[in-house]
Amino acid sequence: MFFRHGCLFAATAFLMALLVAAAPPVPLSDYVTHPCKRNCLDPGQKSMRCEYNFTLETYQTLSRACYDCPNTAADCARPHCIPGDGFVRAVKVVNRMLPGPALHVCQGDTVVVNVYNQLGDYEGTSIHWHGILQEGSPYMDGVTMVTQCPIPSQSSFQYRFEVPTSGTHYWHAHAGLQRGDGLSGALVVRDTSFTDVMKLYDVDLPEHTIIIQDWLDQFTTSKFSIHHHSAGDNTPASIIINGRATTFGKKKTAIDHGSMDMDTVTQTPQTNTTATSTATTTVNHEGHVMGKRAVTSPDTMTPPSTGMEGHNMSTSNGSTTNDYISYVPHQVFSVAHGKRYRFRIINNGVLNCPLKVSVQDHNLSVIASDGYDMKPVLVDSITIFAGERYDFVLSANQKPDNYWLYVMGLGDCARSKTSQTAIIRYEGQMETKPTAGEAYLDTDRTGKNANPYLIKPDTVSVAQMTSSFPADDVFNAHHVKKYYILLGYNRVENYRQ
């Protein structure tokens, strides 16, 4: 009896030790002030060990951490608040952030990431380092069932690898469709020596790193299943820019956040920088708002001409409605007049939705693709497919004002006219929206387009761009044969049966 009890105690102690070892660190960090986020060109710069803790959780947009977001704009920037597109949905995130923590390191650093899998439903996971070649460390590539087994729920795994080459990369979950639900973030490796492209810009700020992606109103697996086996569609609810989407929704009911004791609350009009609303709200006994009908009125952020015009919720006849309106503040990128800024943009899309990026009244000078420098190409817009990264220089040479950064959805996104906007704000300008239009057709910037969805006379394909690095010897060798492969789809009539 004593032996049996002793074995049971030992087994319990062992299991508890495993759980404690896998317990995530507290508090969760955004790593905005990480010591590895430094000037990589400083003389005498030495390589560093850059360690991060990633806690993966099933979480929620507009949780209680958001307080009164989006009605109060400042609340949307609170720690652990994920505004999303203004509607509640479950998400899978790292450190309660969307996108997850951005890792900014220097060439030659060693990246160490401790992953704590706290996802619900006992999901396994892994983290892939998109763009890192993993020379000498292929087992750290993070591809589930290829380079590693999934990280089990309630356990941890440590990734450790060097970053010998610079560039704009990113990390994302590589198990199932998890990355579409929020498990992604930037990984930027800066050069430690001066390069030719550095002559083309004055400023390279971490806050000018942009992650864009198509965004669903439900878990990606649910969307896929309904589309594949039933009559559901594969179009996104919106597009998010650094985790935000300014959406004027149509007939959309969602459980809101909040904490109230009353059964029914009539809100008095509120005035702030985002919207003025009068609403009657029904609250259940748990303090969650079950439905909300709000009517916005004009203010500096929502002028009458554009206040009711949604980015991605148009009806079939192009009209819009004010039923169930949510407004999330735009993502803002600040620039100073006369300066040239390097922007790094990443597409974490999961659908067939190439995203066309442009800036109102500004040209873009493309200087890098997928982490590799290239000779500059001046264009009016860039089309970015899922998994791609582009670096461009924006010259702040226009009249100081507020300008739109347009993201236009193509492919399947075009069917639902899905688009999104952010704001390029010159220093000293009012915190107002640009006066130009922001509807779907407004985001279709004309002129020269880089990396086009469809080849046209005014497009520049990647094949027409020139790398800053000399070609490998193998490409200059004799007896090299080129094969051109046409990609297409076979129609399957019964794939939903």
Chain segment 389-402, per-residue pLDDT in tens: 999 999 999 999 99
CB 154 within 8 A of CB 117: yes
pLDDT of residue 474: 74
Q: For residue range 70-89, list pLDDT tens digits in order.
A: 888 899 999 999 999 998 99
Q: Is the pLDDT at 188 greater than 90, yes or no?
A: yes
d(CA 31, CA 99): 13
List, for residues 256-306, the tens digit of each pLDDT value: 333 333 232 233 333 333 333 333 333 333 333 333 323 233 333 332 222
User: Tens digits of per-residue pLDDT, 211-269?
Assistant: 999 999 999 999 988 888 888 888 898 999 999 998 644 334 333 333 333 232 233 33
| pLDDT top residue among 285 and 476 | 476
Q: What pLDDT does 325 receive?
A: 57
Confidence at 120, pLDDT banded by 50, 70, 90: confident
Question: How high is the pLDDT of residue 63?
Answer: 95
* Arithmetic mean of pLDDT, 467-479: 78
Q: What is the mean pLDDT of residues 341-365?
A: 97
For the segment 128-151, the average pLDDT, to the nearest whole number, is: 96
Query: What percent of the chain lies above the pLDDT cut of 90?
Result: 66
Could you read off the pLDDT of 38-68 as tens digits, one per residue?
999 999 889 999 999 999 999 999 999 999 9
Higher pLDDT, 233 or 197: 197
Contact 98, 77 (CB under 8 A): no
Instruction: State the pLDDT at residue 269.
Output: 34
Q: pTM for this structure?
A: 0.81
Joined tokens for residue 156: 């941890």
- 107-126: average pLDDT: 95
So what's the pLDDT on residue 210? 98
pLDDT tens digits along 199-208 = 999 999 999 9
> Which pLDDT belongs to residue 25?
76
pLDDT of 479: 77
Over residues 444-456, the mean pLDDT reads 94
- When the pLDDT of each residue in the chain is averaged and rounded to a whole number, the result is 82
- Predicted local distance difference test score (pLDDT) of residue 492: 65
Mean pLDDT value across residues 304-318? 36
**Residue 145: is its pLDDT beyond 80?**
yes
pLDDT at position 4 = 53
Judge whether residue 342 has pLDDT over 60. Answer: yes
Start-end of CATH 2.60.40.420 domains in the chain: 9-194, 201-247+328-497
* Contact by Cβ (8 Å): 440, 314: yes
Check residue 230 and give its pLDDT.
83
CATH superfamily of 9-194: Cupredoxins -  blue copper proteins (2.60.40.420)
- Determine the pLDDT at residue 448: 97
The rounded percent of the chain whose pLDDT value lies above 70 is 78
Q: Residue range 166-176: average pLDDT?
A: 97
Mean pLDDT of 377-387: 98
The CATH number fitting domain 201-247+328-497, selected from 3.40.50.300, 2.60.40.420, 2.60.40.10, 3.40.50.10150: 2.60.40.420
